[in-house]
Structures are given as C-alpha cells and as structure tokens.
Structure 1
Amino acid sequence: MKPNLIIFDEPLFYTEGLSKLLTEGEIFDNVRICNSTATLSEQLSYQPPEFLMLGSRALVLTEIYKLVQDLVNQHQNIKIIVIGNFFDVTDIRKLFEKGIKSYLDTNCGCNEFVKSIAALSSNLVYICDSAKERMMDFLSHKQVHQRHQIECLTKREMEVLKLICDGLSSKKICEKLFISINTVETHRKKILMKLNVKNSAGVVKYAMENHMIE
C-alpha cells in the first residue's frame, strides 16, 4: 500500500501542480494540500499521513523550527521533509535536531525527492546533494580555521595549555615552568583568545576535540 503525503507550502498553483505530479507518478496513494497552520492541524487530526512536506515559502525559518517541534511532539510517526531556500548548514543541523528526517533545497528535482522518500521509508535520513556540498565546504573551512588557531599557539602556550588540561592551577603551572604567575595569566588570556573559548573548561574541550593532548 502506497503512503500518504501532506504538502504545506505556497503558492497554491505550485502545490496543486506538485500534488498532481506526485499522485500521477504513483508515489503516493493520496496527496493533500495545506496553506495554513489551522488547515494543517485539522488535516493531521483527521488522518495523519506517513509523510509531511514543509516548504519555506509559507513560513519563515523560526516558524518552521517551532512547527517541526510541535509536530514531532504530537505526531511522532510522521516523517517530516523540509524544502528550504538554500538554508545555512547551521540551520539545517538545527532542523534535524528538532526532528525532521529529510532536507531538500528548492532546486532539487523529482528524482532526488523520490530518493528521499525511499530513504525515509527505510528509516534513514536524507540530505540533498547541494546541501551536502555546503556541509563539506563548511567542515573543510572549519578544519582549516582550527588548524590555523592551533598553529598560532607558541611553544610555551602549548605547554601551558597541556598543564591546564591536566587540571593545574595558575600557581602550580608557574611553579612547574619556573615562570611568574603574571606570565602564566598572560599565556592563559592569549590561549583563550586564540582558541576563541571563554574559560579553562573550553580550553580542555577544544584540546580534546582537536586531539591536541594525548
């Protein structure tokens, strides 16, 4: 038996055309359209579908966050697909944290949509190729930035960092390295600034995540 789908988006001619295309393509048994949260709530109460597609034309991003969270709390079995207007990597990540199962950019074709449905039907998640490329670029630039931050640390700052990670106080560090406590505090401040963290806990977390300590 084929699944059901609700499309929540605007404008009407777009959603009607998409509904017809998906129904004729024999992907879904039934495709319903909603253009308001009130109608969507009514449709979900009447007959919850297996899939729900949320478009970014009908709602702003903050509204999508809230709607996804509410839907996941009320209808845990519905697999939510968000069609975003080339959302940032951090926005996409937050949507998955809220509970969506698939993200597609607005330029995705029907083939990629069908792939996402197949993935979700197998209890997997799906991210379109263009969004994956943005994620890879983001991670690549982040890694380069992190390497640059690490390389900016002097030999002495690295020594102080490792002792901070060992849990030593500034007093203990100055005794171990035979330097004044003012010098230790200066090194601490520079380490915080270069690693862009707020405190010693942040230093330890950063060092562990970037394998700066054994």
Structure 2
Amino acid sequence: MMKPRLTIFDEPVLYTEGLSKLLTQSKIFNTIDVCNSYEALSQQLKKEPPEFLMISSNMLMLTELYTSIESITSENKNIKIIIIGNSYDIIDIRKLFNKGIKSYLDKNSRYDEFIKSIHALLLNEIYICDHAKEKMINFMSSEQAQKNLRIKDPLTRREMEILRLICNGLSSKDICEKLFISINTVETHRKRILLKLNVKNSVGVVKYALENHIID
C-alpha cells in the first residue's frame, strides 16, 4: 500500500519544520509539505491534494475554519482533515466533525497522541484527543442530567410564566403586582423553580432558560 502524503497548514516555520522532521523519521508519510499561508495551501490543494491535511487554529478564526473545511471537503472528498484546536467548546468540535474533519487534537495534545490519530485515520476511523473526549463526556452527562430533570419534573404553566418574568429582570414584588398574586405565592413558585432546575439563584435560572431556548 502506498504511503499517504501530508500537508501541514500552520506557523511558525520553526515549529512546522520540527514537526515535519519528526514525522519524516516516523516513516508514515510519503511526502510532507508545509504551507504557511492560505494562498499556498489553495495552490497545493489544486495542484496535488494530499490524503492528509493538518490545519492549526493559529491560521484561521473558527468561522473561517468552518467555511474552509466545507469548501476543501466538497472539492476533495477523500481528504482527511486533522484540526489542532485552541481548547474549543464541545459544540464547536461537534460542528467541525459535521463539516467533515476526521480528527480533532487540542494544542496541549502530545506528539504520541498525534501519531495515534494518524493510525486511527489510516484505518478510516475518526479520532478525538483525550482532553476533548473528557470535556465531551462531562458535557453529555450534564446534558443528560438536564433532560432527566425536564422529564421527571417539568415546570408548570405558572412557573414558566414566572421564569420568563425573572429572566426579564422583575423582582418578586414586581411579579406579584403584575400577576395579581401574593408575594408569598411568588416566593413559593420561585423556590420550586430553583429546586426543579437545580440552580442556586436568578442567574442560574436565566442561564438555564437561555441554554434550553426558553428565552432568546
């Protein structure tokens, strides 16, 4: 089987040259090219697209990264893109995979993890570095906890109404005047909302409402 070619899109030159020498010693790749500008990368992709492409978050903003990946994968279906990210959020990492990347490593990933990701890609698997995987597990377990919470004990219509007013910055006194109910009733509803959402205060209520698209 022919060895794949790799293109590294990153800076500074000293770092990319060092990585290139290390990878040459590993004898995984047939050739390793380094591009330090998007123009050079575009020319390389038109002339001789590699099988593997490593893109660093140094080179592009996240939004530019999304559009570049879409454009690269639409023209080169077989290209395997590895992103070296800057501790991106799980939602951003998910989006990068949806756009077509095959491997995600963080800037704190070590060289041996980079090699592990290459071997996974050679087997047509995807790879997520340990640091991001840990974040993903935490994110999924908290997401699941939120789902369970909503299924077990949903907010009543009145509680939802009070939640929206809390999010609009109204105090208990404002709410009782607006809804024509006693301040004690408002306080009881407020306590139940905090309990059901498992939050400590109004800030937690607003955060929960935003994350679950209850308010925009």
The residue number in structure 2 matching 1:31 is 32
Matching residue's letter, 1:101: K
**DSSP 3-state at the match of 1:33:** strand
Q: How does 1:1-214 map to 2 (within 5 A)?
A: 1-153=2-154, 196=212
- Identify the range of structure 1 (95-104 vs 42-51) with the bigger mean alpha-carbon deviation: 42-51
**DSSP 3-state at the match of 1:103:** strand
Matching residue's letter, 2:97: F
- Give the whole-Å Cα distance in 1 for the aligned partners of 2:121 and 2:144: 31
How far does residue 137 in structure 1 lie from its aligned partner after superposition? Answer: 0.2
How far does residue 152 in structure 1 lie from its aligned partner after superposition? Answer: 3.0
How far does residue 127 in structure 1 lie from its aligned partner after superposition? Answer: 0.7
**DSSP 3-state at the match of 1:82:** strand
1:171-207 deviations in whole A, cap 9, x for unaligned?
Answer: xxxxxxxxxxxxxxxxxxx9xx7x9467xxxxxxxxx
- Give the whole-Å Cα distance in 2 for the aligned partners of 1:62 and 1:196: 23
- Give the whole-Å Cα distance in 2 for the aligned partners of 1:142 and 1:153: 16
Gap regions ≥5 residues in structure 2: 158-192, 194-208
- Give the whole-Å Cα distance in 1 for the aligned partners of 2:213 and 2:110: 42
**Cα RMSD (Å) of the superposition?**
2.2
**DSSP 3-state at the match of 1:54:** strand
Q: 1:115 to 1:196 in 2, by over 3 A?
A: closer
- Give the whole-Å Cα distance in 1 for the aligned partners of 2:154 and 2:46: 58
- Give the whole-Å Cα distance in 1 for the aligned partners of 2:47 and 2:117: 25
Q: How many residues align?
A: 163
Q: 1:147 to 1:109 in 2, by over 3 A?
A: same
Matching residue's letter, 2:59: A
How far does residue 153 in structure 1 lie from its aligned partner after superposition? Answer: 2.4
Matching residue's letter, 2:76: H
Name the TM-score, length of structure 1 as normaliser: 0.70
Runs of 4+ that moved beyond 6 A: none
- Give the whole-Å Cα distance in 2 for the aligned partners of 1:85 and 1:17: 20
How far does residue 104 in structure 1 lie from its aligned partner after superposition? Answer: 0.6
Name the TM-score, length of structure 2 as normaliser: 0.70
Percent identity over the alignment is 52
